Structure 1
Amino acid sequence: MTMDLNDIIEYLRTVARSVGAEISSPFFYLQFGLILTAAGIALASSAALRSRIDAGSLANRWPLPLRRLAHVTVESFTTIVFAALVIAARIAMYHSTWPSRSYMLVVAAKLALAWLVIRLMTSVIRNATLVKLVSITAWVIAALSVINQLDPAADALDSVSIVLGGLRLTPLLVIKLGLILIAALWLTNIASNFAESRINQSADLTPSIQVLLVKMIRMGLMVIAIAVALSAVGINLSALAVFSGAVGVGVGIGLQKIVANFISGIILLADKSVKPGDLVTIGDSSGRISAMKTRYISVAAGDGREFLIPNEDLVTQKVTNWTYTDKNTLVKVLFGTNYESDPRRVCQLAIEIASGAPRAIKSKPPGCILTEFGETGMKFSLTFWIADPDGMDNVKSDVMLALWEAFKREGIRVPYPVRELRVRGGALPVDTTVEVSN
């Protein structure tokens, strides 16, 4: 370990002496001035181009690959102009003096061309953060390769290590693993999105089976990508056995709910008790299932709110699924009348009103029954069927408003409580009964 550290210090000293010798040369400042001039001209040219061309509407009618290429070209116009000017300056100095006196121009031109190629290659990636990460990492590697420092930098990163069990971890190994893992997961995402689009287009699969297949494919491809990335950097999967105990303890202590929700999600997708599009009531939350995730389901309430309910709650608690086997929903309207009304006429009016409701199913006639002789009047129950539970409260409200109008037209009164007040003594020597309406 001491020898490795001494080698690194000696290498840094050699680099410092080389840089010092380069800076002391007058051609260094000439090349530096040419590079700054090229950068200024490139920035001015790019600003002039962007003021005349709208990158957002550029090549809208072109095919997608050509449209992306045009956008990247406009965005990288500064790099293109800079590379062209530096190459021209390099050619001029090459023919007028020694080739070694234009070395900085060669490096600047190669770095600019490397950045341009990297931007063109990463134009197929849609994630902006991933594009920046991949572009910067690839450009750093290209820069080290251009100045012939890639192997020394790799050796320096590989000289520092930590041994865990049978696994030797180095910064170089971690960087390689990260790069390969990012590439593998990106390819996995493309493959899983393609499979998801094909599965969702299948009319033979129910929505729950589609979600289950998509999750299984994504999970399987992710496991394969991680295994391939580990094997590509030379990590034997058996060397990770030292972490299995820690992972088991973590699952046992802090990840019970996560694992329970994950397993519950698989169960829900397999038994098809709920599926996207179902109208459900879970506790005090009601709405239509808009998405089923690995950890939770999303229930859209219809008023802009979305309830994120853990999958475990759907397995362990009571769930009302209004559309489990049949979307037809029975609507029940409870109302009452006073004892002066004819109960048969009341039931006839209620049935006529329910039959005339726009959303009532005509093949299932409504029914109205007298349920109770209450303290203040008779109580009735009106039932009728609608084809979909969406907006059931609105249907009930319309029917009750129609009942109110019909009762007023027929002279049928809705009962109200009667209170008897008895005043003894004083100015009122006799008992007095007063009707009080609430």
Structure 2
Amino acid sequence: MVIVNSTTEPLIDQITNPDTWATWLDSFQEWLQSDVFILDTLICLGIILVAATVARPLATRPQKQFQILIERESRFSVLDRLWQSARDISYPGIWLLLLWISVLVTESWGITNTSLVITTSLLAAWVIIESATILVSSHFWSRTIAISAWLLAALNILGILDPTIAFLDGVSFSLGQATISVLTIMQALVTLGILLWLSAIAGQITESKLKSARNLSPSIQVLTIKFMRISLSAIAFIMALAIVGVDLTAFAVVGGAVGVGIGFGLQKIFANLISGFILLMDKSIKPGDVIVVADYYGRVDALTARYVSVTTRDGVEHLIPNEELIINRVENWSHSHNLLRLRQIVGVHYKADVHKAIALCKEAAAETPRILDDPAPNCLMKEFGDSSVNLELRYWINDPMNGRANVTSDLLLRIWDKFHEHNIEIPYPQRDLHLRSSDIGELPRER
């Protein structure tokens, strides 16, 4: 097949030139007649199809066995990826084995087996690459690396790698004073992907070290991890451009447009990002704090670049934008300490011994496990209500992250038991209705 050299004339002119297409079509037809539609090639293509058909049922049993191992060893990530890779290459591996046998047989029979050898090489490249990607834990990156590497291997096996590189290098555009080709972009993407993968590994190792450091507070740990990830990503991006030879000053042309886009389109995103850094630096909110913001009450599980994850006692996770925590009023029950005072109204009958009721409330509070002895619980006579004498029991806890309702319930049950034990009556609302005879009038008599 004739390949037109992109250096003889502009690439766009070649593609839009009808004579070029006619030349390519004639070369393709000539190749079909001389290399494809011949007996040896048709025999090899038939062998390839038969081998693919036979390999399918043969691969069923090992695939089931590997699936059992995957389900059994799912808790171990390395073994899980190993068995998944083995399951995925079972079919192409058996197909490859049959093709290798076919190559030996056709060579012994003197059959021209170029297509069979090419197919075997392509399949072998895929099996090897698929096996090597077990080292990559991310499914997305594993697929991306496998497909990209196999495409390069396929172009090299078919002998068209250099022409393809020349073609991609010929498609270019200008950015300022720099000329950027499609090949340069692809090289930058590949290099960026590798560097981002390496930076992710380095980030995970550093993150595990930081989380194990006891002398660092949770806020400093989160702030350091965020800054490290952003820095590693920026360094990877700059290094990728520098490796492929892109002049970084060329991006100054689009710097103004990007700045305007950030100022308007990404305004809220960057507001949340900056708010997140402020929260981490002033340590006003950190993982593990119990906060109340607007209608949300719960424990702070994580601080991210855009939001704060707050999980309520019901198990509902709320993702609150960082900006809301900056501009709105926030109650942090564990900012500087974990002490929290709770209040509970208890009503007793007007005929009850109020002094005894107050003493029983204090005893019940002292016996409740989570209520602190220091500061000691206190019970005050609050008011004379419509149906009861209202007492207010005040008590302290130092673990608000474990909830309030459970400790209040435990306390009220103990008060209930003590009141019944000492005949302290808990009243319920009553109303006395007085009827005057003059308002009713004389009732009619029955005849």
Q: TM-score, normalised by structure 1?
A: 0.87
Partner of 1:122: 133
Partner of 2:88: 75
Q: Deviations over 1:146-177 (max 9, x none)?
A: 11111222222333333333343433333322
Instruction: Decide which of 34, 43, 63 is 2:56's aligned counterpart.
Output: 43
1:365 touches 1:384 (CA, 8 Å); kept in 2? Answer: yes
Residue 220 of structure 1 and its aligned partner are, at CA, apart by: 0.9
Aligned length: 426
Structure 2 Cα separation of the partners of residues 107 and 348 of structure 1: 93
Change (3 A) 1:68 1:421: same
Q: Deviations over 1:211-262 (max 9, x none)?
A: 1111111111111111112222222221111221122111221212111111
**Secondary structure class of the residue paired with 2:113:** helix
**Secondary structure class of the residue paired with 2:253:** helix
Residue 69 of structure 1 and its aligned partner are, at CA, apart by: 4.8
1:262 counterpart = 2:273: yes
More displaced stretch, 195-204 vs 278-287: 195-204
Structure 2 Cα separation of the partners of residues 29 and 404 of structure 1: 92
Instruction: Decide which of 22, 26, 41 is 1:28's aligned counterpart.
Output: 41
2:357 touches 2:424 (CA, 8 Å); kept in 1? Answer: no
Residue 84 of structure 1 and its aligned partner are, at CA, apart by: 3.1
More displaced stretch, 292-301 vs 194-203: 194-203
1:55 touches 1:74 (CA, 8 Å); kept in 2? Answer: no
Partner of 1:181: 192
Structure 1 Cα separation of the partners of residues 246 and 25 of structure 2: 31
Structure 1 Cα separation of the partners of residues 155 and 354 of structure 2: 94
User: Root-mean-square deviation (CA), in Å?
Assistant: 2.9
Residue 283 of structure 1 and its aligned partner are, at CA, apart by: 1.2
Partner of 1:252: 263
Partner of 1:410: 423
Partner of 1:392: 404
Q: Which amino acid aligns with 2:357?
A: V
1:368 counterpart = 2:396: no
Residue 68 of structure 1 and its aligned partner are, at CA, apart by: 4.9
Partner of 2:143: 132
Partner of 1:88: 101
Partner of 1:344: 355
Q: Deviations over 1:19-48 (max 9, x none)?
A: 332123221101112222222333232224
Partner of 1:141: 152
Structure 2 Cα separation of the partners of residues 58 and 406 of structure 1: 55
Partner of 2:336: 325
Partner of 1:220: 231
Residue 382 of structure 1 and its aligned partner are, at CA, apart by: 1.2
Q: Which amino acid aligns with 1:263?
A: I
Change (3 A) 1:300 1:50: same
Structure 2 Cα separation of the partners of residues 66 and 353 of structure 1: 55
Q: Which amino acid aligns with 1:39?
A: A
Structure 1 Cα separation of the partners of residues 302 and 78 of structure 2: 32
Residue 17 of structure 1 and its aligned partner are, at CA, apart by: 2.7
Partner of 2:3: none
Instruction: Decide which of 156, 170, 177 is 2:181's aligned counterpart.
Output: 170
Query: Gaps (5+ residues) in structure 1?
Result: 430-438
Structure 2 Cα separation of the partners of residues 220 and 161 of structure 1: 30
**Secondary structure class of the residue paired with 1:294:** coil
Partner of 2:245: 234
1:34 touches 1:89 (CA, 8 Å); kept in 2? Answer: yes
Residue 312 of structure 1 and its aligned partner are, at CA, apart by: 1.1
Residue 124 of structure 1 and its aligned partner are, at CA, apart by: 1.1
Query: Gaps (5+ residues) in structure 2?
Result: 1-9, 443-447
Structure 1 Cα separation of the partners of residues 316 and 106 of structure 2: 68
Q: Deviations over 1:259-307 (max 9, x none)?
A: 1111111111122111111111111100111111110011110212111
Change (3 A) 1:34 1:361: same
**Secondary structure class of the residue paired with 2:27:** helix
Residue 334 of structure 1 and its aligned partner are, at CA, apart by: 2.1
Partner of 1:427: 440
**Secondary structure class of the residue paired with 1:410:** coil
1:97 counterpart = 2:148: no
Structure 2 Cα separation of the partners of residues 136 and 367 of structure 1: 71
Structure 2 Cα separation of the partners of residues 125 and 59 of structure 1: 21
**Secondary structure class of the residue paired with 1:86:** helix
Structure 1 Cα separation of the partners of residues 96 and 115 of structure 2: 13
2:122 touches 2:157 (CA, 8 Å); kept in 1? Answer: yes
Change (3 A) 1:93 1:413: closer
Partner of 1:306: 317
Q: Deviations over 1:378-426 (max 9, x none)?
A: 4332111223112212222332343344445434454746576676954
**Secondary structure class of the residue paired with 1:117:** helix
Q: TM-score, normalised by structure 2?
A: 0.85
**Secondary structure class of the residue paired with 1:209:** helix
Residue 104 of structure 1 and its aligned partner are, at CA, apart by: 1.0
**Secondary structure class of the residue paired with 1:323:** coil
Change (3 A) 1:355 1:116: same
